[in-house]
Amino acid sequence: MHPYVIICGVFHLSAVIQSETVRQDTGVITASVGENVTLHCFYESQVAMHFSWYRQLLGSRPELLSTIYKFGDPSKVFPWLEKNPRFSLQRMEGTNHLHISDIHLSDSATYYCGSSHSNMVEFGEGVFLSVEGDKHQGIIQAPASKTIQPGGSVTLNCTVKTGSCDGEHSIYWFRRGSRQGFLHTHKDQCKPAPPSPSCVYHLQKTNVSSLDAGTYYCAMASCGEILFGNGSKLLMGDEVEDQEAQIRILVWLSIIRAGILLFFVTISFFVVVIKTC
């Protein structure tokens, strides 16, 4: 059996186990078309022999970008990298970074780095690369920010300007916060919003808690490209109240400190005046 098939077969099992030896960039990295970006990967294992990078496009299976042998010929390039020269590896002892130059919209995906030894594959948590394109093709999200009390409900809206690309498309929601990940998928379920050629999608959250706080992004995969909204920030009412209370405390502490300082300055002034008399 081909090694790639074996690796793919254990991918899902390995991915849910957080690796203690592989560390990489996590969360969301945002870049604009034409920019360069480096995705960092560090490994601490002394027994790992092979090091790999995978990419998972929205709605697709993971694909192998590169795999290298620890003691292999450094001049030998993995076939996928040969076909895609914009991607390259930056290797040193303990590192296996992935560099992407002249970024395209189609590079938007989740990237995983991993290491393997003794038929065991370990992966990092993964990092989502969000590539921003032309704003006129953008996605409008509303509300931009929303404060809600625990136990309440909220509906987030995503308006997609379909433009000239009217083929089948998929809409993805994902959250950046205490619990990151994909939440929901719409596939070609368009609700026209006349007079503009737009589609409106909704994400409804009920019985929300502090774990639901974060920034929610809407993304559209269509015609080989992925477009992103600017995000809707969901805040918990108790968190906002706590922040306001902390600000009030800091303000009062600053006032008290200024008052104490003024008091000592005044006392010092009078002491100097008395001594000179």
Q: What is the pLDDT of residues 2-52, one digit of tens each?
A: 343 333 333 333 333 445 678 898 878 888 889 999 999 998 877 778 889
**How confident is the model at residue 44, as a pLDDT?**
80
Query: CA nearest 68: which of 53, 82, 83, 57?
Result: 53
Its pTM surpasses 0.85: no
**How confident is the model at residue 187, as a pLDDT?**
59
**How confident is the model at residue 237, as a pLDDT?**
76
**How confident is the model at residue 116, as a pLDDT?**
83
CA dist., res. 207 & res. 174, Å (int): 18
Tally Cβ neighbours within 10 Å of residue 271. 10
**How confident is the model at residue 14, as a pLDDT?**
39
**How confident is the model at residue 186, as a pLDDT?**
60
Segments of the chain with pLDDT less than 50: 1-18, 136, 164, 240
**How confident is the model at residue 63, as a pLDDT?**
92
Identify the H or E element spanning 37.
strand 37-39
**How confident is the model at residue 99, as a pLDDT?**
96
Q: Could you tell me the two tokens for 98?
A: 């992935």
The full set of domains in the chain, from first to last, is: 3-132 (2.60.40.10), 135-237 (2.60.40.10)
User: Parallel, antiparallel, or unpaired for β 27-32 and 63-69?
Assistant: unpaired
User: Parallel, antiparallel, or unpaired for β 120-123 and 196-205?
Assistant: unpaired
**How confident is the model at residue 88, as a pLDDT?**
93
Max CA distance (Å), the chain: 100
In 3-state terms, the chain is what percent helix, strand and coil (to 5)?
A: 25, 45, 30
Cα→Cα distances 184→68, 172, 212, Å: 35, 6, 14
**How confident is the model at residue 244, as a pLDDT?**
65
Q: Could you tell me the two tokens for 154?
A: 């909220």
